[in-house]
């Protein structure tokens, strides 16, 4: 999607509003109109990204993403296999994961993650291999990483680290 018509419309609206002023006002508006385009593009892209995240949240088996392609914005819609209905056991880890999430507080929050296409593709393949959604796969990866960091931190506090090498 080319954002130029939208930024040009904003620019024209600014110039039209300034036309009732004197020459200094019109000159200042002209300078501002040229400078506002990058900020307007970013604001539009952020709004589109937030919109895509809301749509993704409402559609349980579909992901809507906003991607930047040069100066253009591309919308990507990906349909996923629906996750099993609660009570259907795909693997014991899925039920265990749900219990752990409830034990951790149970409330969810939404975060938009921007990934390089190749990394996203690799994560999607790994998620399919594990029989879970990409969202579940990413949540587990973050949880495992945080758990590992906490264990490392605890080990540093109470223990003594020795580094070196053994020569045979």
What does the pLDDT look like over 107-151, one tens digit per residue? 666 778 888 888 888 988 888 888 878 888 888 888 778 777 665
Sequence-ordered list of residues with C-beta below 8 angstroms from that of 3, at least 6 positions apart, any chain: 40, 41, 44, 45, 71, 72, 73
Cα–Cα separations (whole angstroms), residue 6 to 1, 2, 10, 68, 91:
11, 8, 6, 16, 49
Asked whether the CA dihedral 119, 121, 123, 129 is positive or negative, the reply is negative
Residue 22 confidence class, pLDDT cut points 50, 70, 90: very high
Domain ranges of the chain: 82-157
Identify the helix (H) or strand (E) that includes residue 138: helix 134-158
Percent of the chain with pLDDT over 70: 71
Asked whether the CA dihedral 11, 13, 18, 19 is positive or negative, the reply is positive
Residue 57 confidence class, pLDDT cut points 50, 70, 90: confident
């Amino acid at each position: 999607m080319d954002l130029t018509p939208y930024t040009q419309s904003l620019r024209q609206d600014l110039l039209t509003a300034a036309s009732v002023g004197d020459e200094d006002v019109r000159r200042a508006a002209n300078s501002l109109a040229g400078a506002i385009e990058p900020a307007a593009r970013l604001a539009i892209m952020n709004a589109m990204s937030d919109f895509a995240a809301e749509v993704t949240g409402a559609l349980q088996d579909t992901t809507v993403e906003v991607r930047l392609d040069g100066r253009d914005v591309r919308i990507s819609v990906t349909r996923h296999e629906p996750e099993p209905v609660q009570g259907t056991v795909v693997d014991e880890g899925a039920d265990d994961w749900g219990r752990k999430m409830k034990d951790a507080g149970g409330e969810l929050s939404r975060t938009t993650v921007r990934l390089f296409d190749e990394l996203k593709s690799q994560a999607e393949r790994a998620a399919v291999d594990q029989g879970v959604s990409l969202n579940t796969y990413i949540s587990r990866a973050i949880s495992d990483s945080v758990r590992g960091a906490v264990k490392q931190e605890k080990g540093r506090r109470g223990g003594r680290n020795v580094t070196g090498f053994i020569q045979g």
